[in-house]
Amino acid sequence: MSTRNAALFNTTVNWDELPVTQVRAGVRRRVYATDEVMICHHELEVGMALNPHQHEDFDQLVHIAEGRANYYVDGVAHDMRAGSFLLVPRGSEHYVEPTEAPCVNIDFFVPPRADLLP
């Protein structure tokens, strides 16, 4: 365990205690990261600006925890509701379009995204 941050083990963390970042209009993000995984909690508003993008160096596991959304991967819409998961392969263009609020999208990244680390 020498390369892992021992302070992270046996520590309870609650989303509502983590700092919120306003990413853009209609998108708020909270981030929790360990040395090996990052979890991003997004609160999304219906009608928010869409943001098609891709990642070349990691896959992205998407979970809709509340609400409903169309999640687009390489132009294909996936109807997602609370409880749905979707694995987005690296290099695929993707974006989320909330269709029912409140919409909470939780993303898992392994390894953690360097651009979102503090």
- Looking at residue 1, its pLDDT comes to 40
The pLDDT value recorded for residue 2 is: 46
- pTM score, whole prediction: 0.90
Q: Token match 């390489």: residue?
A: 74
Q: Strand 76-81 vs strand 60-73: parallel, antiparallel, or unpaired?
A: antiparallel
Question: What does each of the 118 residues of the chain score in pLDDT, given as a tens digit?
Answer: 446 778 788 889 999 999 999 999 999 999 999 888 999 999 999 999 999 999 998 899 999 999 999 999 999 999 999 999 999 999 999 999 999 999 999 999 988 898 888 7
Predicted local distance difference test score (pLDDT) of residue 80: 98
CB 103 within 8 A of CB 85: no
For the chain, what percentages of helix, strand and coil (3-state, to nearest 5) are there?
A: 10, 50, 40
CB 42 within 8 Å of CB 87: no
Residues whose CB falls within 8 Å of the CB of residue 9, separated by 6 or more in sequence, listed in order: none
- The pLDDT assigned to 8 comes to 80
Looking at residue 110, its pLDDT comes to 87
